[in-house]
Amino acid sequence: MSRANLLGAQGARELIAFLEGGGDGTIELRPAPGAGARLIKLRRPDTQDPRKAGAAVRDTRSPRSAAQHEPQRLLDRHVFELAPDPRRPVRTAPPAIPADAVVLTNAPRFRTGRDDGVSAHVRVLVDATDPRLRAARRSEAVDELLDLHERVFLKAKECAAYLDGGSFVVSVVGGVTEAGVPLPFTGLFTGLVKSLALEFPGVDVLATVHEDVPLDEVLATVSAELGARRLIPVTYHAGGMRLTPRAVPTLAPPSEVPALGEDALVVAAGGARGIGAPILEALAARHRPRLVVLGSSELPDDAGEELDRSAFIRIQVRQGVSVSEANARYDRLGEARQTRRTLAGLERLCGPGRVRYLRCDLRDGDEVERALATVDGPIDLLLNIAGTNRASDVTAKSVQDFRAVRDLKVRAYLNLKEATRGREPRLWCNFGSFIGLTGQRGETDYGAANDFLNTAAVNAAGEFTIGWTLWRDIGLGASPLMRDFLEGSGEFTPTPTEEGVEHFMAELAAAPDAPVTVFFGAKERAAIRAAVPEFLEFSAGAKRPLPFIDRTLRHDAAELVAERTFSLERDGYLDLHRVRGYPTLPGTFVPELAAQAAVSLVPGRVPAVFEDLRLESFLRVYRADRPEVKRLTARLVRADERESVVAVRVLGDVVAPNGVIVARDRLHFSVTVRLRDAAVPGPSWTHWDEHGSRPLRDPYHMPGSDVLLREVFVSTTDTRTHPLGRRGRLALDAPALRRWFPDLLVPSVTLDGLVRVAVLERAGGRWTPVAIPRSIRRVDLYGGHTDLTLAALTEPVELYVTPVDLDLEDPEPDNRAIAVASNGEVLLQAKDIVGAVVGYVDQETGEYVDRERFDREERR
């Protein structure tokens, strides 16, 4: 089946071919792209079957039915937004600005260190706090920002050979509002960074975007981000939250209201060639607007004879023109002829005198203003289509090429804004690129320009930017070289012209539903998934798995009730943590259960503090054939801009080993959780020296102990006493963590090991107590760490417990247990631990005796 839109010459040729007997027997004609729900089918008489003769049949299917029979589209619509993405550290945070770094800035207050020469570390501090930068308008402040933008490119070019293993960080201060809205010129720098990150895979490339905050706060964030996992190399920090850009799959909402009324005025900046031409034809066919096209081509007086390239070049060379210049002239002539053909086709559709072509350089503000001054009437739609591409990596790209590509998007946009001041178009559509979202190797200029169009549109009423991938039959993607590249790379979906036009018409009808949309298909998804496996799930809003929430029984704004079934088949790790021979959930896992219940009740915030943790009864699984069902209740105590406070209880029927129910709905645990918008940075701690340390074996790892921990729970090493208290070193088993606990919110195994350090003492010269925790007044989490991120740290984590004369059974405790990174940053803290001693282990022989026997023998 052949298919045509009846737009321009190509549509006419397909119809003529059909009428003359070509094709495969059926053609579907559309009155215009975007009208896919109304199809007309023409069927040629089949001379082999007289029953089919004479049938010119109107399709009477319902619009929904007709749409279901259309070919599947290759591209999906995605809406750009910023979404909360709590920081997950993966290594010790390095200094924000290394001593040998080169630092570029546009603000005297941010000058620190040298800005000349080369280094493996480059820092860029962008001051975007000037009020003139809050709107996408021409100003001296914008010129200074563009100058810094070029200097960043040149510094990347200059330092490229030195950066491997180093870092390149751009921080935009005043680039986002407290509400999390990126300001217009932010995209210049985030788009550049996204492409640099792909060109420099061995370099830690990052952009951080901040509110107008002090430099110390910016640098603290940069340091933390350099030690954290990132989905893409851009993070925003606003309103106390860490935000990451994402592209959410979203259908365009249907609209019954025509996007353009009768006699509408459409101004197109570019579009007479490339992907703009079929879109202008679609608008002309559907709306017959008055159309003004701005372009750079000087149209020939007449078409003349169209020579092929070689013949044209021979004639030019005979006239003394160089071969390269002759090639350029041939290209310009071909572009001019294409422009003339497009304009002629548009006039046939819109009507005589309704299409104007105004020649101007869009990068020249005066020319743009003079051109638009000749256009009368309010503008219903402005299409900012113009663009060019000169892809090459940073080391090969000239600053002239960088500026030419960037400015045809950025300067043109600003010039159009200035020329329409006081007569702002009702709708404004920018043609952007998928590259604005992801970056692309060799596209530092194009990526920056297109991300600017994204952030500019977010800040303008009635404006939207469409991020296209490459089109198959027209524009850059249509060249034989590019087609071969696309087929070989497998990273881009070649968009059929018809589908691209349909997407545009749907966006226009829905405008301004979303300020930034991005279209991409299966190939782009595969490339994104290969590079950043979690990004598509993050964009789709996939929730992080909560392994301790099985079933929600009740959920409203104030309360959550959920169930979790524990079994040895499912929770095999319980058998690695035995208390008096029975598989038992560690008491230090209660914050994890509480955190999962709390974030289910209050999504979007992260656990930061646990208070008044009480362990009332063991959560055990006595038999492999008898699962234990427990109920988690979370009640919102209060919430404000700073935090949400949630009270959590874990209850269940207490069942004896023989299966008899001892108590129904008995309280196992209770705790209060404080949730914040982002992880809290840790305070500093001064590491102890080793003077006076005495090694002690961890009593929980000795075979005879009544509380026996194995495998994943063997999480400490170098346990010892110290004149200031007790200490050890974290020794997490990363493969075991990935097997048993890949999705925990709290570093629960670390907390378990840390609390156990509190028992390290010698009673009677050789006995070390074995205790079970009964309560903890407060647990603080810092930095957003999990057990897996702590296991990934390359430097050791030290564990400290004070004071030296700690009494675990003191009903009024005053103690402190702290996990500390090598740089002195506190990662986890537990205060005022109360335990119950159940027995003792002989440090020399490993013998275990229970509490009763120990007390009896010690008294003797």
Q: Nearest 10 degrees: CA dihedral of 569, 570, 575, 576? A: 140
Q: Residue 515 pLDDT > 80, yes or no?
A: yes
Q: What is the pLDDT of residue 213?
A: 95
Q: What is the pLDDT of residue 66?
A: 35
**Of 590, 587, 565, 567, nearest to 577 (Cα)?**
587
Q: What is the pLDDT of residue 819?
A: 97
Q: What is the pLDDT of residue 797?
A: 96
Q: Residue 541 pLDDT > 90, yes or no?
A: no
* Mean of pLDDT values over 840-854: 89
Asked if the bond preceding 98 is cis, omega within 30° of 0, the reply is no
Q: Give the C-alpha separation, 329 to 507, whole Å.
A: 37
Q: What is the pLDDT of residue 641?
A: 84
Q: Give the C-alpha separation, 851 to 618, whole Å.
A: 18
For residues 198-222, one letter each, b for 16 or more C-beta atoms within 10 angstroms of the residue's C-beta and e for the rest, the string is bbbeebbbbbbbbbeeebeebbebb
Cα 468 to the center of its chain, rounded Å: 19
Q: Nearest 10 degrees: CA dihedral of 311, 317, 322, 323? A: 30
* Mean of pLDDT values over 142-158: 97
Q: What is the pLDDT of residue 324?
A: 80
Residue 773 near residue 616, CB atoms below 8 Å: no
* Mean of pLDDT values over 464-475: 85
Confidence band of 574 (pLDDT split at 50, 70, 90) = very high
Write out pLDDT tens, residues 710-722. 999 999 999 999 9
Q: Give the C-alpha separation, 847 to 741, whole Å.
A: 32
Residue 673 near residue 613, CB atoms below 8 Å: no
Q: Residue 220 pLDDT > 90, yes or no?
A: yes
Q: What is the pLDDT of residue 315?
A: 82
* AA identity, residue 810: D
Q: What is the pLDDT of residue 211?
A: 96
For residues 597-610, one letter each, b for 16 or more C-beta atoms within 10 angstroms of the residue's C-beta and e for the rest, the string is bbbbbbeebbbbbb
Burial class (CB in 10 A: 0-12, 13-18, 19+), 575: middle
* Mean of pLDDT values over 649-666: 81
Q: What is the pLDDT of residue 794?
A: 81
Residue 212 near residue 184, CB atoms below 8 Å: no
Q: Give the C-alpha separation, 296 to 277, whole Å.
A: 15
Write out pLDDT tens, residues 36-70. 433 444 444 433 332 233 333 223 233 333 334 44
Q: Where are the alpha helices (DSSP H) in 227-353?
A: 276-287, 309-318, 323-350
Q: What is the pLDDT of residue 10?
A: 38
**Of 383, 473, 541, 537, nearest to 74 (Cα)?**
473
Q: In this structure, what token pair is assigned to residue 572?
A: 């095999």
Q: How far, CA to CA in Å, does 68 sit from each of 71, 498, 540?
A: 8, 17, 24
**Of 194, 77, 234, 137, nearest to 456 (Cα)?**
137
Q: Give the C-alpha separation, 185 to 240, whole Å.
A: 22
Write out pLDDT tens, residues 797-830. 999 999 999 999 999 999 999 999 999 999 999 9
Residue 432 near residue 383, CB atoms below 8 Å: no
Q: What is the pLDDT of residue 380?
A: 96
Contacts of 234 (CB under 8 A, 6+ apart): 190, 193, 194, 206, 207, 208, 209, 244, 245
Residue 58 near residue 38, CB atoms below 8 Å: no
Q: What is the pLDDT of residue 325?
A: 81
* Mean of pLDDT values over 417-429: 96
Q: Where are the alpha helices (DSSP H) in 490-584?
A: 497-510, 522-531, 535-539
* Mean pLDDT, the chain, whole residue set: 86
Confidence band of 300 (pLDDT split at 50, 70, 90) = low
Q: What is the pLDDT of residue 256?
A: 67
Q: Residue 28 pLDDT > 50, yes or no?
A: no
Q: How far, CA to CA in Å, does 135 sit from each of 126, 141, 417?
A: 17, 11, 10
Q: Give the C-alpha separation, 13 to 8, whole Å.
A: 9
Q: Give the C-alpha separation, 592 to 590, whole Å.
A: 5
The vertex-37 CA angle with 31 and 42, nearest 5°, equals 55
Q: What is the pLDDT of residue 403?
A: 96
* Mean of pLDDT values over 252-261: 78
Residue given tokens 């050789």 in the structure block: 766
Q: Give the C-alpha separation, 236 to 211, whole Å.
A: 9
Asked if the bond preceding 512 is cis, omega within 30° of 0, the reply is yes
* Mean of pLDDT values over 109-135: 95
Residue 671 near residue 611, CB atoms below 8 Å: yes
Q: Give the C-alpha separation, 417 to 461, whole Å.
A: 13
Going by their DSSP bridges, the two strands 26-29 and 2-4 should be labelled as parallel
8-state DSSP, 324: H
Residue 516 near residue 457, CB atoms below 8 Å: yes
Worst-scoring range by mean pLDDT, 558-562, 612-616, 737-741, 843-847?
843-847
Q: What is the pLDDT of residue 329?
A: 76
**Of 757, 744, 755, 739, nearest to 790 (Cα)?**
744
Q: What is the pLDDT of residue 145?
A: 97
Residue 715 near residue 753, CB atoms below 8 Å: yes
Dihedral pair phi/psi, residue 225, rounded to 5°: -70, -35
Write out pLDDT tens, residues 315-347. 888 888 888 888 777 777 777 778 888 899 999
Q: What is the pLDDT of residue 623?
A: 84
Instruction: Provide, rounded to the nearest whole percent, the portion of the chain with pLDDT above 90.
Output: 64
